[in-house]
Amino acid sequence: MGVLLGLEGEATDAEVVRAVLAGDVERYAVLVRRYRDRYARYASRMLGSRDVAEDAVQDALVRAFDRLADCREPDKFAGWLFLILRNRCFAERRRRRRIERPLDSTDEMFAAPDRPDGAYEQVERAHALERALQHLTPEQREVFVLKHMEGLAYEEIAGVTGATVASLKMRMHRAYDRLRELMKEHL
Amino acid sequence: MTTGYHPLVKRLLDGELSLAELPPELRAEGEEALRLAGAADRAPVALSPALEERVMATVRRHAASPGNRAWRWLNTPRDVELRLRVRPWTVWAGALAAAAALALLLGRPAPEPVPGAQARGDMRDSVLVRFVLYAPGAHRVAVAGTFNQWDRAAAPLVPAGTSGVWTTTLALPAGQHQYAFVVDGARWVVDPGAPAVNDGFGRRNSIVAVTAPGAHL
């Protein structure tokens, strides 16, 4: 078993993709394990709900399998999967905007400990930020999530989203102003 | 009414300035902004352990469906070994004939199925398709697509003299194929002479439709 895990860990994405395309469907589990949690935080923050994020990650992984033959560069499977998940998150936001009010179920993601040392205030502020993020445009929210939660530089965000650094900065700076307004009671 | 942050404070949030580099009158605003950014929750999010099994169950079902199996069979490239027994002079004659045919065909930019040129034997159901790209200055050009698993090394084009025109001819099965050229091993270029579609992930793929031998496009 240890050997199997070792082989899984060593297999590159490209090797796994080619094995799956050659008919070894079970090898796809390697990619599922490798990426399910890596993108969970992005989806959760984009969608404002861990449950909805879980559905999105699941759908993205299934869709990636269905379209695996279209993956131009198997060694860049991670980026390709991210684009599928990103499209899925944006589509989910559009769908929810059409049928109901924006997601506001971030309570599930936070505990609010009753502590006198300022931790409660920090948790409240984090909670307020999560709520405020849901009132940004999807593009503004995404750049904030990728920079301040995923820790990516503008150049890296440009690489995964296809936007220019200048337009990303403009989105982000508008997001800062909007968040300041939305969170004025908590700053 | 809360006003927006000062541009220098935004640069602080972007990590381009430190708090100490702000003018004294902006320090308080900067501290407030840092409290905002500091509220970002960077804790990992754990999804249900059952997610993997749900994905794999769906994937197995999709893989087993007849439609998907047929599509994968059609779409998965295979290695075909051809063993030929020839006399040397026939190789030279064939090469000259191919070069003459290539020269005649070079004027047309889009990949085009060559009617009646399908190979014999195992390649009876394939049609020869010529790919042409004008790429002066390129050192290497290849074509990658659904027909070769987007392998950037599987189908190199060869330069036609020094004109900047690169070309190759591939035997493709009937059906619609997506492809793009790969210039110098890294740059993906859509075929300017062929229709293109969005691949759903923000990039464009060229399209070539190959009809069965004897049919008209």
Q: What is the 3-state secondary structure (H, E, C) of A93-133?
A: HHHHHHHCCCCCCHHHHCCCCCCCCCHHHHHHHHHHHHHHH
Domain A112-187 has CATH 1.10.10.10: yes
Please report the pLDDT score of residue B187 as a whole number: 85
Distance CA A130, CA A166 (A): 25
Cα distance between residue B73 and residue B75, in whole Å: 6
Substitution target from B14, B17, B47, B52 for chain A, most A beta carbons within 10 A: B47
- Is residue B125 over pLDDT 50? yes
Residues B122 and B159 both lie in one domain: yes
Compute the average pLDDT of residues B63-76. Answer: 73
Residues of B whose CB is below 8 A from A65: 55, 59, 62-63
Cβ of A151 within 8 Å of Cβ of B42? The answer is yes
Average pLDDT of A86-90? Answer: 93
Asked if pLDDT for residue B215 goes beyond 70, the answer is no
User: Residue B53: how many CB atoms within 10 A of its CB?
Assistant: 12
- Which of A82-86, B79-83, B122-126 comes out lowest in average pLDDT? B122-126
User: Mean pLDDT across the stretch B99-104?
Assistant: 84
Residue B170 lies in a domain: yes
Report the 10 Å Cβ neighbour count for B14: 17
Residue B77: predicted pLDDT: 57
A26-61 in b/e form (b: 16+ CB < 10 A) is ebbbbbbebbbeebbbbbbbbbbbbebbbbbbbbbb
In-domain check, residue B44: no
Positions of CATH 1.10.10.10 in chain A: 112-187
Which of B49 and B118 is assigned the larger pLDDT?
A: B49
So what's the pLDDT on residue A87?
Answer: 93
Whether the predicted pLDDT of A54 surpasses 70: yes
Burial readout B131-147 (b: 16 or more C-beta within 10 A, e: otherwise): bbbebeebebbbbbbbb
Do both B161 and B181 map to the same domain? Answer: yes
Instruction: Assess B8–A contact: CB distance below 8 Å, yes or no.
Output: no
Interface of A with B in 1-30 (CB under 8 A): 18, 21-23, 25-26, 28-29
Q: What is the pLDDT of residue A39?
A: 92
State yes or no: pLDDT of B211 exceeds 50. Answer: yes
pTM for the model stands at 0.61
Please indicate, yes or no, whether residues B99 and B176 belong to a single structural domain of this protein: yes
The SS3 assignment for B132 reads strand
Q: Which of B44, B180, B199 sits opposite A41 (nearest CB)?
A: B44
- Asked whether residue B97 falls in the same domain as residue B32, the answer is no
**B-contacting residues of A 41-70, CB under 8 Å?**
41, 43-45, 50, 53-54, 57-58, 61-62, 65-67, 69-70
Cα separation, A91 vs A11, in Å, equals 32
| Residues B156, B140 contacting (CB under 8 angstroms) | yes
Q: How far is CA B136 from CA A114, B18, B183, in A?
A: 69, 48, 11
Mutate to test the interface with A, among B29, B55, B183 (most CBs of A within 10 A): B55
Residue B169 lies in a domain: yes
- Residue B99 to residues B103, B110, B136, B160, B161, Cα–Cα distance (Å): 6, 19, 20, 9, 11
Is there a domain that residue B182 lies in? yes
Q: Which of residues 139-158 of A touch B (CB under 8 A)?
A: 144, 147-149, 151, 154
User: If pLDDT is split at 50, 70 and 90, which confidence band does A25 have?
Assistant: very high
CB contact under 8 A, A58 and B10: no
* Together in a domain, B188 and B92: yes
Within 24-43 of B, beta carbons closer than 8 Å to A belong to 32-33, 35-37, 39-43
CATH entry, A1-103, from 1.10.1740.10, 3.40.470.10, 2.60.120.260, 3.40.50.2000:
1.10.1740.10
Grade residue A99 by pLDDT with cuts at 50, 70 and 90: low
Average pLDDT, rounded, for chain A: 84
- Whether A9 shows a pLDDT value over 70: the answer reads no
B106 shares its domain with B192? yes
Calculate what percentage of chain B has a pLDDT beyond 90: 29
Any chain A CB within 8 A of the CB of B149?
yes
- For residue B83, being part of any structural domain is answered with no
| Token reading at B187 | 């740059």
Residue B110 has pLDDT above 90, yes or no: no
In angstroms, rounded to a whole number, what is the distance separating the alpha carbons of residues A84 and A56? 10
* Residues B195 and B101 occupy one common structural domain: yes
In a domain, B16, yes or no: yes
* B114 and B192 belong to one structural domain: yes
Q: Tell me the one-letter amino acid at A182.
A: L
Residues B53 and B117 reside in one and the same domain: no
Looking at chain A, the domain(s) classified CATH 1.10.1740.10 span 1-103
Determine, yes or no, domain membership for B17. Answer: yes
pLDDT for res B134: 87
Long-range contacts: B100-108, Cβ < 8 Å, 24+?
B102/B160, B102/B167, B102/B169, B103/B160, B105/B130, B106/B132, B106/B160, B106/B165, B106/B167, B108/B132, B108/B193
Residue B202 falls inside a structural domain: yes
Q: Is B4 on the interface with A (CB under 8 A)?
A: yes
Identify the domain containing residue B193 by its residue range: 88-210
- Same-domain check for residues B56 and B134: no
pLDDT of residue A100: 56
> Is A155 within 8 Å of A186 (Cβ atoms)?
no
In chain B, the number of structural domains is 3
Q: Give the pLDDT confidence score for residue A121 in this predicted structure.
A: 82
For residue A44, give the nearest of B10, B45, B72 by CB distance.
B45
Q: What is the pLDDT of residues A149-162, one digit of tens each?
A: 999 999 999 988 88
Average pLDDT over every residue of B27-46:
92
Q: What is the pLDDT of residue A136?
A: 94
Q: What are phi and psi of A96, to 5 degrees?
A: -70, -35
Token pair of A82 as six digits = 């991210």
Mean pLDDT lowest among A5-19, A106-120, B40-54: A106-120
Interchain CB distance below 8 Å, B45 and A65: no
